[in-house]
Chain A
Amino acid sequence: MKPFPARSTPALTLGFFLYVLLVLPAFSASTRKFNQLLESVVRIDVREVAFEAGARRYSASIGSGVILSDDGIILTNAHVVSPRAIEINVTLANLERVGARLIGWDHWTDLAVLRVDLVEVRRRSLKFEHAAFGDSNKLYPGQEVFAVGTPHGLTRTVTRGIISNNNRYFEDSRAVNGYETGAFNTWLQTDAAINPGNSGGPLVTGDGKVIGISSRGYLGANNLGFAIPAATARRVLEQLVRDGSIVRSYVGVVPGPLQDLENFYSLALNTGVLINSIDPGSPGMRAGLRGGDIVLAIDGVKVDGRFPEQLPPIQNLIANKPVGSKVTLSVKRGPDTRDFAMVTEKLESRVGEEWALEKWGVSVRKVSRAFARENQLDDETGVIVIGVQPGFPADVAGLSRSDIITKINQLPVTTLEVLKEAQAAYQSKPEPILLEALRNRRVSLYILKP
């Protein structure tokens, strides 16, 4: 900016100083910080393995991420980088590419943490910037925000919008590559354009502070995008860096908003959370809880779950306890109120470990405890067929997707190892193998023939 002419009126001078002191320095600092943010946003190229159709298949995808420390910690989405990733490459803002590895992921909040390969960074003397978190709790609807990322592979795209809603509830049982998400946090909604490939990139304020991680949008809608708030992201990041995973406690209570039902349950306003459902076999069910019960307090902490967006903090009251903790719920049922005590279990996903038994042309997923309960199976024995390869022994025998293999040569399939060992034995000495499988609760026998 060119200096003003020397001869000027005092008023003008004053105005000039005010401008310089208040506006210009702020603007330049902001620009600097925003540029620093841009320098810390990366493109992430992932190659991952999928156990589809009875074989290992590899696929590639692109996402975004933001570097948050000088030792190369990157925050992105769990649906961008998951444990299925076998190769992760990060493109820094200066267009240099460097490898990275997964530190940990948490599909419940759709967040994953990577670290760039520091050995490679030092060897090649690569430089990168890192960004800092802002306070997402102070955001207000209407506030200007920017999304930075790699939509459709277009590296370092900045789009602008406002916070459309700062407390959106968004639960989905299979949104993160088939994994559950959204029960333990609310989301920021923005109209900044978020497209496929933006995932994992930061949502920032004008001063370059990361206030969210862009994660999803309604395809086909106009600018309805969603981001995980920084308050959640910061906590998850710290825990993943420290422990590599996030362990939550679970009692099997599925809450629902009480909205408009206070009168029916004769409740004082802003009191209680409705239990919509109890998972079969869960600690809550064993303790005697039922759908339609009203939880008034959890371990003495009063809860208020009138609206959906109030549910995640209530869920966290239980989730944040160490696994195996005793939890007491004060529950109103009809006119009575009584306490139900239970011991928490570890929260598990419905999605179990996957594998491909390639000799037989069948890919499988372990039956998890949550899956077994959801499908009213007797126990966790078995693997779910998630794909068969045409013409291979499993296909020839008649197995098909969603069958549950429960026994192999009369041996219960309690772990994936049982199958892997059987396949290894088959490989060294091919002999017919008897499988027992469930299809819609019906038990059938199959022979895998060499």
Chain B
Amino acid sequence: MTFAPAWLRFSDASSIFRVCRSGIAAWFLCLGFMAPALVRGATLPELWLERQKSVVAVEYVTETEADRRPTVSLGTVIDAQGTIILPSNAIDPRAATWQLKDFKVYAPGDANSTPADYLGQDAYTGWHFVRVNEALRSRLVPVTAFAPAAGAKEPALADFVWGIGLRTKDEDFAPYIMQSNLALIQALPQRTGIAQREVAAPGLPVFDRDGYLVGLAASSFGQSYLQFAPGNRGVPVLQINVEESSAFILADEMLPYLGRVPKDVSGRPLAWLGAYGLEPMDRDVAKFLNLSSQSGAVVSEILEGSPAELAGLKARDIILAIDGKPLPQLKPDRVVVTYIEREVDRRRPGETLALTVLRGPERMELKVLLGDEPKLMREAERKYFDRIGFTAREFVYGDAIERRVKAGAQPGVIVHYVKASSPIAIAGLRQEDWIREIDGAEPKTFAEAVTKLSDIEKDEARAEVVMLVSRGGETAVLRVKLK
């Protein structure tokens, strides 16, 4: 099984419809066996009818220079204030928050929508938070209403689990039921239940036979198939069901964090370590380094001016423990990196992270005072110039890292977007190019560059602008013909 992110956009796929029809058929077949087991006299359809009120479809628009792109994602209601959580991949991480517009919430089976506000993303859980207007709140039931009693046992292997899926917008997000049995529990590093087959749409809750919450569906895993066709002998393909998932994080990995509603739409404050490229090690390497029962992660680079650098962490150090707790051996190996990242993300800037590292043969203890994450690319300032044909983006810390230059104030701007067939496109500029000089002069700040470009844009008499552009460590002088 492979862990793979998947977009949550609902697309019309007739095969899915067939799957869900057969799923319902299967349910009717086994209904006779299950009915006696249901407690409190509630049948599964009754439980399903009530729990639908905890799920919604959320639609929003991403506004770009060229178009407005609608996206639909599914979310779970977590409180009486109409707060909804969406999975981390519901929103493109490159989009600036101001580009996200017109959030609307649909109750299952309802063609009408209610406006909502985007509250931001929580770094630790990855969830995006949305809050729907009053109008719809009374019709929603927070999923916490179905939380198991404190100390309740987590689901056991082979236990019956079920969940909800929603059809497409064309079908008014009609709810349907999925059911399966728990096949495996794995730490990824969150404890994740894996059912035999699809059990809920990603982002929607999963319940047990009695209707208690057992988890929240995650992105589905890829499944390996052999694809046969006339003339070929079975090509291995990996299929990912983006609409339904068989994996879910357990309720204990979800319920304690529902309160992490971002205070600010930017999701800040964000804790920052500044160790780039954490790489896991396999068991052979761990054994070679005499790390018998634990794992480690190699630090590839230490970012300039970062808390890690200040604390004395060095490139090629191997992180062995956090706060004295050895890194666990998780499978797949890669998961240990997520483990470390989550340890950082759940802290706040100003908190301390105690690291045990292996440097050559030596073990050492380092205390990192976590900092505040430098401005992210999605937070960078941008300005669109229609006549020249591009969006200029402020040069931020991440750009310096990517281009291996000093992280201090760098001149110029980054090409964020190129309008097709525009003067700048014809001159050969591409997205992510770094414009270092405009007309032979270095703009020292983003504001200076914007002033200069605005003047050029306004000057109808202007025939051309010459730019010094850097791409992949090389530069070129390009002439942008405006007339």
Considering only CB atoms, which chain B residue lies closest to A407 in the complex? B316
Report whether B281 and A445 are in contact in the complex, using a CB–CB cutoff of 8 Å: yes
Q: Which candidate, A45-53, A80-88, A308-316, A435-443, is the interface stretch facing chain B?
A: A435-443
Closest Cβ of chain A: how far from B332's Cβ, in Å? Answer: 12
A261 beta carbon closer than 8 Å to chain B: yes
Stretch at the interface among B3-11, B15-23, B389-397, B472-480: B472-480
Contact status B437-A444, CB under 8 Å: no
Q: How far is the CA of A374 from the CA of B474 in the complex (A)?
A: 9
- Segment among B45-53, B143-151, B197-205, B282-290 that sits at the interface with chain A: B282-290
A107 to B473, CA, bound (A): 24
CB distance from B463 to the nearest CB of A (A): 10
Whether A206 sits at the interface, judged by CB under 8 Å, is no
Which residues of B sit under 8 angstroms from A443, Cβ to Cβ? 277, 279, 298-300, 315-316
A260 and B481 CA atoms in complex are apart in Å by 11
Residue A278 interfacial (CB < 8 Å): yes
Contact residues, B441-483 vs A (CB, 8 A): 441, 464, 466, 468, 470, 473-477, 479
A292 near B315: Cβ-Cβ < 8 Å: no
**What number of A residues sit within 8 Å (CB to CB) of B?**
32
Please report which residues of chain A, range 232-271, place their CB below 8 angstroms from some CB of chain B when the two chains form the complex. Answer: 254, 256, 260-261, 264-265
**B104 interfacial contact with A, CB 8 Å:** no
Q: Please, how many angstroms separate the alpha-carbon atoms of A220 and B424 in the complex?
A: 31
**In the bound complex, CA of A397 to CA of B475 (Å):** 38
B479 proximity list for chain A (CB < 8 A):
260-261, 264
Chain B residues within 8 Å of A99, by CB: none
Chain B residues with CB under 8 Å of A434's CB are 285, 288
B382: Cβ under 8 A from any A Cβ: no
B288:A447 contact, CB within 8 angstroms: yes
CB-CB contacts below 8 Å: A371-410 with B: 374, 376, 397-398, 410
B436 within 8 A of A: yes
A292 touches B440 (CB 8 A): yes
- Residue of A260, A265, A292, A436 with most partner-chain B CB within 10 A: A292
Contact A376 B279 (CB under 8 A): no
Judge if A25 is at the interface, Cβ distance under 8 Å. Answer: no
CB of A446 within 8 Å of the partner chain: yes
Q: Are A291 and B476 in contact (CB under 8 A)?
A: yes
Task: Indicate if A30 sits at the interface (CB-CB under 8 A).
Answer: no
The answer, yes or no, to whether B102 is at the interface (CB within 8 Å) is no
Chain B contacts with A in 250-302, Cβ cutoff 8 A: 276-277, 279, 281-282, 284-285, 287-288, 298-301
Contact between A444 and B476, CB atoms less than 8 A apart: no
Known A-B contacts A291-B468, A376-B404, A444-B279; the reply to A261 vs B284 at CB < 8 A is: no
| Known contacts A264-B466, A291-B470, A376-B404, A446 near B285 by CB under 8 Å | yes
Residues 19-61 of B contacting A (Cβ, < 8 Å): none
**Cα of A292 to Cα of B285 in the assembled complex, Å:** 48
A410 to B439, CA, bound (A): 50
Provide the bound-state CA to CA distance between A280 and B288, in Å: 38
Residue from B276, B277, B477 within 8 A of A292 (CB atoms): B477
Give the interface of A toward B (CB within 8 A): 254, 256, 260-261, 264-265, 274, 276-278, 280, 290-292, 334, 374, 376, 397-398, 410, 432, 434, 436, 438, 441-447, 449
A-B contact pairs, 22 of them (CB 8 A): A261-B466, A261-B477, A264-B439, A277-B474, A291-B470, A291-B475, A291-B477, A292-B437, A292-B475, A334-B441, A397-B284, A432-B288, A441-B277, A441-B301, A442-B300, A443-B300, A443-B315, A443-B316, A444-B281, A445-B279, A445-B298, A447-B284
Give residues in B with beta carbon < 8 Å to A: 276-277, 279, 281-282, 284-285, 287-288, 298-301, 315-316, 360, 404, 436-437, 439-441, 464, 466, 468, 470, 473-477, 479
- Please name the 8 residue pairs, one residue from A and one from B, whose CB atoms are nearest each other, closest first: A291-B475, A447-B284, A442-B277, A443-B300, A277-B474, A292-B468, A277-B475, A444-B279
7 A-B pairs besides A442-B277, A446-B285 with CB distance below 8 A are A265-B440, A276-B476, A276-B477, A292-B475, A438-B300, A443-B300, A444-B279
